[in-house]
Chains A and B, each alone.
Chain A
Amino acid sequence: MQVKDLVSQFKLTMVAGEKGLERQVKDGYCGDLLSEIMANAPEGCVWLTIQGHQNIVAVAVLREMAAIIMTGGQTPDEETLDKANQEEIPLLLWPNSAYELAGRLYALGVGNPQSG
């Protein structure tokens, strides 16, 4: 599955990093404490967070993530958009809770070891 498939499936709003839309999605992760994300997020994940500071892009690059999804109607800082474009990390918006989206992604097979 590619990031662009998730965008169309969940009608996510893409605000930056369009060039990364063909990245492969291998897993998922949630959290807002960036030190913890830097330590534990799996490679190729989509990361659900409410943190909009530009450091999220650096963390996504470090962990070789597929995309960042800002949940709960939160929006990124201006600098974050620039960084995401530079690094080609898709930055997507989801209006509802992280809980809901994570459940739906898991049901779809993202990060679910039971799924093919």
Chain B
Amino acid sequence: MLKHFKTDMHIHTCLSPCSDWDMSPQKIVQRSLEIGLDVIAVCDHNTAENAGAVMREGENQGLRVLPGMEICSKEEVHILALFDELDPSLAMQEYVYANLKGENQPEIFGHQVVANDQDEVIGENPRLLIGATQLGLYEIVDKTHRLGGISLSSHVDRTAYGIIGQLGFIPPDLDIDGVEVSHRVELATARDDVPGIGQFPCVTASDAHFLDDIGKVRTVFILAKPTIDEFRRALQDKDDRRIKI
């Protein structure tokens, strides 16, 4: 039995330096349910340290939360890595941390707040999360797949940190599962508006840094259940799983 799942697969928490303090685990989950989302993914810059708290709060309130990260490659391209369970996302985080240099300067880049599922501040992450890793795109996609995740190229319609802006075009041999367009582009016309997308599967997500932006744009997936395997099949338009345009 296939069902519709309203998703927003790209949400930052208060751990991202550029994100609002109100992006706490409880508030993100509350807001997502209020506006009728079924699935969200937590994708902070180069870290997954708040994903577990949002997942636990999602379980409490009845929202499916995927752990993820928005990784900045050495080409300065942003790419999402999404997983089913917390452990592989933390393994991805370990890989990213080993290849991320620098210390955050909160007065310049913003605070990086690690929170628990009670919305209490546990601490601040000292790393330069806003920086670029020393990992190439191919390495990031490969590692994501080895850990069972899916890999989406972020906001490909944007020059800043979008793959087409940075690299001119999407390398045809890059094994991404799809691309994300921002709210600036309609999903229905994205292929015409951004010709560089070509035949890559395409979704849209909010990239929310503020509570009010959550779900501003959303992608409806037709799936049996909200798992990474099902999302992958929908991106490939397989077994009647698909993205509803």
In the bound complex, CA of A59 to CA of B167 (Å): 9
- Interface stretch (choices A17-25, A50-58, A85-93, A103-111): A50-58
B195 interfacial contact with A, CB 8 Å: no
Complex Cα spacing A54 to B167, Å: 9
Q: Is A34 an interface residue (CB 8 A)?
A: yes
Q: Find out whether the CB atom of B136 lies under 8 angstroms from the CB atom of A59.
A: no
> What band does the interface of chain A fall in when counting residues whose beta carbon is under 8 Å from B?
10 to 19
Inter-chain contact A77/B136, CB cutoff 8 Å: yes
- In chain B, what residue has the closest Cβ to A55? B167
Complex formed: what's the CA distance from A84 to B165 in Å? 22
Residue of B nearest to A51 (CB): B75
Checking A37, A53, A59 against B137 with a beta-carbon cut-off of 8 angstroms, the contacting residue is A53
8 Å CB contacts to A: which residues of B155-171? 159, 164-169, 171
Measured as residues with beta carbon below 8 angstroms from the partner, the interface class of chain B is: 10 to 19
Tell me the bound Cα distance from A77 to B75 in angstroms. Answer: 11
B168–A37 CB distance below 8 A: yes
A38 x B168 contact (CB < 8 A)? yes
Cross-chain contact B171 with A35 (CB below 8 angstroms): no
Residues of chain B with a CB closer than 8 A to A54's CB: 171
Residues of B within 8 A of A33 (CB): 159, 165-166
**Chain B residue at smallest Cβ distance from A74:** B74
Q: Which parts of A33-47 form the interface with B (CB within 8 Å)? A: 33-35, 37-38
Q: B residues within 8 A CB of A38?
A: 168
Interface string of A41-79 (1 = CB under 8 A from B): 000000000011111001100000000000000000100
- Known contacts A33-B159, A35-B159, A35-B164: does B136 contact A55 (CB below 8 Å)? no
* Selected A-B contacts with CB under 8 Å, 23 pairs: A33-B159, A33-B166, A34-B166, A34-B167, A34-B169, A35-B159, A35-B164, A35-B166, A35-B167, A35-B168, A38-B168, A51-B75, A51-B166, A52-B74, A53-B75, A53-B167, A53-B171, A54-B171, A55-B167, A55-B168, A55-B169, A58-B168, A58-B169
